[in-house]
Amino acid sequence: MLYNVIKRMIERGQTDGLRTKIDVFFAVGSLTETEYNELLAMLAETEGA
């Protein structure tokens, strides 16, 4: 569920401070390593575009 919300935020361009939030969610176990890596890759694509 959280993964889908963050993914939608990235798709909508709502990325201010999102990297830090993703890191925190991963640190507390709310995201799996796979989800974490996918979200960071998506975030990097939008920031690089």
**Average pLDDT of every residue of the chain:** 96
Q: pLDDT tens across 19-34, in order?
A: 999 999 999 999 999 9
Q: What is the DSSP string of 5-22?
A: HHHHHHHTT--TTHHHHH
Put simply, whether the predicted model's pTM sits higher than 0.75 gets the answer yes
* % of the chain with per-residue pLDDT over 90: 94
- Give the count of beta carbons closer than 10 Å to the beta carbon of residue 27: 10
